Amino acid sequence: MTQPVAPRPSSPCTKLCILDAATGLCEGCGRTRDEIGLWGSMSEPKRQAIMATLGHRLRTAYPLREKALAKP
């Protein structure tokens, strides 16, 4: 018999891992260094709660980014 494979933890990782020293956030996903390090050991509800805040974090930390992306 084969062992059931555990589902992979959900992740907001965008594979753009640049930790910004000024904000303390990953510029790709918006998580902190501590959150990234602990991600695999967090419960799924905790990961989901953090992921729900990431869009706001990134918009707050980098307000000009969306404006730059919106320009044709």
Share of the chain above pLDDT 70, in %: 85
Flag whether pLDDT at 71 surpasses 80: no
Under 8 Å CB-to-CB from 58, ≥6 apart: which residues? 25, 30, 65
Q: Give the number of other CB atoms < 10 A from CB of residue 28.
A: 15
Amino acid at 2: T
Q: Is 18 in contact with 27 (CB distance < 8 Å)?
A: yes
Give tens-digit pLDDT for 26-46: 999 999 999 999 999 999 999
